[in-house]
Structure 1
Amino acid sequence: MIVGSGLVANSLKNIDSEDILFFASGVSNSLETRSSEFEREFSLLKNSIKANSTSKLVYFSTLSVNDQSKQDSQYVLHKLHIEDYIKNNCDNYLILRIGNIVGNGGNPNTLFNFLKNQITNNIQFKVHNKARRLLLDIDDIAKFLYTNCIDTKNKTLNFAYPYYYDLKEIIDAIQQQIKKDADYTESEEGDFYKVEFDETTNIFFEGINSDQYLKTLAEKYI
């Protein structure tokens, strides 16, 4: 069963199962501050678990919980609260903390969508030279779960392509697809957080180099 209707939920349709509760509904904006939005997700999660008590739960969290600069963010605190609830109330679960998703459509504020729109519309933006990002092809979520979900019990996994992309690497790949130059200023700001990846994640991406992965993302979604 799939709960949700967004980008992640739609990507799971080919692996939908009566034995697994894929909870892919929730607060998509990491800058959200309205408590009602967080309460809505939490209430829906609890009701979904209750209605599917014999199913394995797969919950989609965020790698941002590892970001020390966001530890006071309502979004991060909310995700950690839900993770704790799942660990204390589910007999069989998998929490997948995912990186910056790249796919067709979805949230216009995602990194790829933001950069594509700025470049396409000739809008100037600022690049933080010290920032790094972990990217994830939306299609890789279902592929990974198809091969790893059943045998992975009561674990929290970090999942993204295990390479920290410089923002200018990403901009360059998008520029090449759009055939337009980005208009941006640079500042020596930004940071990034280190993430420990499980062996299953490293094996999943084995043999794919970082340039190849980024080029494929740009070709598929720009």
Structure 2
Amino acid sequence: MIVGSGLIANSLKNIDSEDHLFFASGVSNSLETKDSEFEREFTLLKNNLENNNGSKFIYFSTLSVNDLSKQESPYVLHKLRLEDYIKNNCEKYLILRIGNIVGKGGNPNTLFNFLKNQIMQDKKFVVHTKARRLLLDIDDISKFLTSSCAAVKNETINFAYPYYYDLNEIINAIEAKMEKKAQYEKSDEGDFYKVAFEETANEFFTGIQPNEYLKILTDKYI
């Protein structure tokens, strides 16, 4: 069973089964501050856990819970609250903390969508030169769940391609694919956080070089 109708939920349709309850619904905006939005997701999650027929409960969290600069943000606190609730109230679960998703459609404010739209519309934007991003092809989620997580029970896994992309690397790759130059200014700002990736996540991407993975993303989604 799949709960949700967004980018992640749609990517799971090919692996849907009665043995798993994929919870892919709720607050997607990391800048959200309304308590009502967080409570809506929490209520939906609790109801689904209560009605769970013994299936493995799979929840999609965020790698930003590792970001020390966001420990007090309402979004991160909300995600950690839900993670704790699942751990304390679910017999079989998997919490997948994911990076910056790249896919077709979805939130226009995701990194790839934002950059693509700014370049396409010749809009100027600011690039924080110290920022780094962990990217993840939306299609890799279902592949990872079936190939590496079939027997995983009651664990929290960090999942993204394990390379910290410089924003210039990403912009250059998008420019090359679109054959169009971006209009931006550089600012000596930005930060990033280190993530401890489990062996299963590292093994999933074995043999794929950073420039190769970035080309895969631009070829598929730009």
Calculate the TM-score normalised by the size of structure 1. 0.99
Q: Deviations 1:10-67 (Å, cap 9, x if unpaired)?
A: 0000000101100000101111111111001000001011111411100000000001
Instruction: Tell me the SS of whatever aligns to 2:96.
Output: strand
Give the Cα–Cα distance (whole angstroms) in 2 for the partners of residues 29 and 120 of structure 1.
23
Match of 1:11 in 2: 11
Equivalent-residue separation in structure 2 for 1:43 and 1:149 (angstroms): 27
Instruction: State the partner residue of 1:196.
Output: 196
Shift of 1:148: 2.5
Aligned to 1:142: 142
Instruction: State how far apart, in whole Å, the 1-side matches of 2:147 and 2:90 are.
Output: 22
1:217 is the counterpart of 2:217? yes
- What is the correspondence of 1:84-95 to structure 2 with a 5 Å cutoff? 84-95=84-95
Give CA deviations for 1:111-164 in whole Å, capped at 9, x if unaligned.
Answer: 000000100000100000100000000000000001123210110000000000
What stretches of structure 2 of length at least 5 have no aligned partner? none
Give the 4+ runs in structure 1 shifted more than 2 A: none
Aligned length: 222
| Post-superposition CA distance 1:161-196 (Å, at most 9, x none) | 000000000000110111110000001100100000
Matched residue, 2:25? 25
Residues 51-96 of structure 1: CA distance to partner in whole angstroms, max 9, x if unpaired? 1141110000000000111111100000000000011111111000
Q: What is the one-letter code of the residue matched to 1:171?
A: I
Identity across matched positions, percent: 73
- After TM superposition, the structure 1 = structure 2 runs for residues 33-48 of structure 1, keeping only pairs within 5 Å, are 33-48=33-48
1:149, 1:212 → 2: CA distance? 24
Amino acid corresponding to residue 81 of structure 2 in structure 1: H
Number of the residue aligned with 1:117 = 117
- Aligned letter for 2:15? I
Distance 2:30 2:188 in 1: 24
Q: Distance in 2 between matches of 1:207 and 1:113?
A: 27
DSSP-derived class of the 2:171 partner = helix
Measured on the aligned residues, the alpha-carbon RMSD in Å equals 0.6
Runs of 5+ in structure 1 lacking a partner? Answer: none
Name the structure 2 match of 1:56.
56
Instruction: Write the distance in 1 (CA, Å) between the matches of 2:115 and 2:69.
Output: 23
